[in-house]
Amino acid sequence: MAATIQTKVFNGTDKALELKEGNGGNYRYLDTIPKNESSKIDCDVNATYREYWVGTAAGIAEVVITSDDCAECSDIRIVPAGVGRSKLEKTLRSPAATQAVSTSNKWSFFSLFTRKKVELFKGEAEQPTSSPTTNK
């Protein structure tokens, strides 16, 4: 089962925005966010790097939300930042939620080997070393 987190995206601009998911310039449509309304992004924390493109139906990009933004933020507001420009205002997740996200994404395969190696070295350090002595 994939571990997913939800991030709320609020459109604070004066026009409807499209939300698309992808990377490397290939995006798929997710939702249209009307002005002064919101949508949710379900981000799989174990998936490869994702971007969320937000722009107008004419294909003009307003902002790009990264998978890192989704992992770190519970709410993202898209607000005007001058003529024809927008910016992100982010609300960070609580530290406990961020810790839960980062712990669920550990490489357990490699940690098995490193943990055993550390335990091996600890075991060697704790055992007394005996050297052969000759008593004559």
Task: At 63, list the tokens.
Answer: 């902002």
Question: Can you give the residue ranges of every domain in the chain?
Answer: 4-118
The CATH number assigned to the domain with range 4-118 reads 2.60.40
Q: What is the pTM of this model?
A: 0.66
Q: What rounded mean pLDDT belongs to the chain?
A: 76
Q: Which residue has the tokens 């357990």?
A: 108
CB 63 within 8 A of CB 81: no
Which pLDDT belongs to residue 45? 80
pLDDT (tens digit per residue) in 1-17: 568 899 999 999 989 99
Average pLDDT over every residue of 44-52: 83
Which pLDDT belongs to residue 106? 45
In angstroms and rounded to an integer, the radius of gyration of the C-alpha atoms of the chain is 24
